[in-house]
């Protein structure tokens, strides 16, 4: 029986088809229940509905044949819930087992929650002088006899045995202190130094997750860095990517900004510059493509794709920013299908004397066979492309977007012209040096989107200052 660990509690272990908490499934669950009335052991195979990879079969000894006639999770969900509900959930690397069980219940539209205790973290706290804290290391360190390693009930019993040994070796004071410390930081993964969280600010900025050997895992932004970082840890069971980031993280650093706009732009730049392992949304693109509408001698508007290196001025209207010609063509085809446009006019097919493929499929309204006037086709085309229309820069020259912290202790001045950032200043005194430096404007799709939202916002925490076109003007 446990003396100092809170009871009732359950020591849980699951075997799975793999390590991806999002789509891998449970194949076996083992539970050791500890209460004031004694100890109860329970386990069951679970049919995962997917094949078990050969490598996993070799590790666990659980084969497809062994789970073929086993119950599905929903058939034993009530039994599992009755055993777990209202009890302290204990496991080795607890967020792994907890994450899989929570996701299985979530598939049944039930939100399972429990208070956690991780024996991996407990071992790190109580046996800090030892180099390893995996279950294998603990078995060897304490010479625990195990019948079937990597089987759920045997591993749960091994974890329970470790708890009893730790209580005998460390005594009540150390055990209770370790449990209390773990409750205080229960959402932090076992391999992470929880004291790092205490140094994070409750202010806007960009944060960086670092792994072993200073490998950059992820870059994010928030108006409250500390709160956002903690949300990664509390949501790691919902996403395989979140779990990988949190389990591999060894350090977190940050750059404070004056506000949300500065954080958005800094995040975009850092992701493209540093290429973190788990950032997918913001990618570095060296060259963009856009769509322009050209008019033929017959007054027919036709879309043309071309490369753009900077945002267009008001002399030429462009539609969309795309990372490749292929993506631009896909957009043209989508608009053509949605608005019954002719594939030949839109450059998706070479002009011929026959109907275009879209008309043969009864999608095109028939400009290619003389059924539709050019004017009507132009109107439909403009309606289709209007959603992609790039905003025209509403000023004659550059502006400064000034963003201050809530306390007013610091500020960022973004010098922007034609939706491109020319530089960042700490005060108006730096404007002249930035503008005289002849910065080369470069197009960036993500930054364009952030700036458009700010410039055209009805209300904003950012102050906009129109700068003079006079080359002899001075600021500050």
Q: Highest mean pLDDT: which of 11-15, 114-118, 361-365, 442-446? A: 11-15
From 337, 152, 476, select the one nearest 329 (Cα to Cα): 337
pLDDT digits (tens, 9 = 90+) for 316-355: 788 999 989 999 999 999 999 999 999 999 999 999 889 9
Q: Residue 66: is its pLDDT beyond 60? A: yes
pLDDT value for 301? 95
Least confident of 62-71, 159-168, 174-183: 174-183
Least confident of 199-208, 282-291, 459-468: 282-291
Average pLDDT score over the chain: 88
Percent of the chain topping pLDDT 90: 54
Q: Which residues contact 405 (CB under 8 A, 6 or more apart)?
A: 203, 204, 258, 259, 411
Stretch 268-286: mean pLDDT:
79
CA dist list (Å): 17 to 98, 136, 152, 216, 326: 15, 20, 13, 28, 37
pLDDT digits (tens, 9 = 90+) for 291-308: 999 999 889 999 999 888
pLDDT value for 383? 95
CATH fold label, 195-274: GIY-YIG endonuclease (3.40.1440)
Neighbours of 349 (CB within 10 A): 15
pLDDT value for 437? 79
- Angle separating helix axes 135-142 and 152-184, nearest 10 degrees: 100
State the first-to-last Cα distance of the chain, in angstroms, to the nearest integer.
73
User: In the structure, what pLDDT confidence band is assigned to residue 379 with cuts at 50, 70 and 90?
Assistant: very high
Domain map (residue ranges) of the chain: 9-184, 195-274, 288-388, 399-466
pLDDT value for 358? 94
472 or 424, which is more confident?
A: 424
Tell me if 9-184 shares its fold with 195-274. Answer: no
From 218, 290, 335, select the one nearest 448 (Cα to Cα): 290
**pTM of the entire predicted model:** 0.55
Percent of the chain topping pLDDT 70: 92
pLDDT value for 185? 57
CATH fold label, 9-184: Nucleotidyltransferase; domain 5 (3.30.420)
Least confident of 256-265, 342-351, 406-415: 406-415
Stretch 391-412: mean pLDDT:
82
């Amino acid at each position: 029986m446990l003396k100092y660990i809170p009871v009732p509690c359950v020591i849980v272990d699951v075997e799975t088809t793999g390590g991806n908490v999002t789509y891998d499934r449970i194949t076996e669950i083992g539970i050791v229940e500890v209460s004031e009335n004694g100890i109860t052991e329970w386990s069951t195979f679970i049919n995962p509905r997917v094949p078990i990879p050969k490598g996993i079969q070799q590790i666990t000894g659980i084969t497809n044949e062994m789970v073929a006639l086993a119950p599905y999770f929903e058939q034993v969900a009530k039994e599992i819930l009755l055993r777990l509900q209202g009890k302290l959930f204990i496991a080795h690397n607890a967020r792994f087992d907890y994450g899989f069980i929570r996701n299985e219940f979530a598939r049944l539209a039930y939100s399972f929650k429990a208070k956690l205790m991780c024996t991996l973290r407990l071992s790190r706290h109580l046996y800090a002088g030892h180099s390893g804290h995996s279950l294998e290391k603990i078995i060897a360190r304490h010479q625990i006899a195990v019948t079937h390693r990597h089987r759920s009930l045997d591993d749960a019993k091994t974890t329970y045995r470790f708890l009893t040994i730790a209580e005998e070796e460390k005594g009540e004071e150390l055990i209770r202190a370790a449990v209390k410390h773990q409750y205080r930081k229960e959402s932090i993964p076992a391999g992470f130094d929880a004291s790092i969280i205490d140094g994070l600010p409750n202010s806007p900025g960009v944060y960086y997750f670092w792994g072993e050997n200073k490998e950059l895992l992820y870059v994010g932004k928030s108006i409250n860095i500390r709160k956002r970082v903690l949300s990664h840890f509390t949501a790691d069971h919902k996403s395989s990517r979140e779990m990988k980031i949190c389990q591999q993280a060894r350090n977190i650093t940050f750059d404070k900004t004056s506000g949300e706009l500065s954080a958005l732009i800094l995040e975009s730049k850092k992701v493209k510059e540093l290429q973190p392992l788990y950032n997918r949304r913001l990618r570095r693109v060296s060259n963009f493509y856009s769509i322009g509408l050209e008019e033929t001698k017959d007054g027919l508007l036709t879309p043309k794709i071309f490369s753009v290196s900077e945002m267009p001025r008001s002399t030429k209207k462009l539609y969309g920013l795309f990372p490749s010609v292929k993506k631009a063509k896909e957009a043209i085809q989508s608009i053509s299908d949605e608005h019954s446009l002719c594939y030949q006019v839109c450059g998706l097919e070479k002009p011929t004397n026959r109907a275009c493929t879209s008309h043969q499929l009864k999608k095109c309204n028939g400009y290619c066979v003389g059924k539709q006037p050019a004017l009507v086709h132009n109107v439909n085309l403009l309606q289709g492309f209007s959603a992609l229309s790039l905003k025209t820069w509403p000023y004659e020259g550059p502006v400064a977007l000034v963003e201050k912290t809530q306390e007013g202790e610091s500020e960022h001045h973004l010098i922007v012209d034609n939706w491109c950032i020319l530089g960042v200043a700490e005060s108006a005194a730096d404007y002249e040096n930035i503008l005289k430096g002849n910065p080369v404007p470069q197009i960036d799709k993500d930054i364009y989107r952030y700036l458009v939202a700010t410039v055209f916002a009805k209300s904003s925490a950012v102050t906009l200052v129109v700068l003079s076109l006079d080359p002899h003007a001075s600021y500050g």
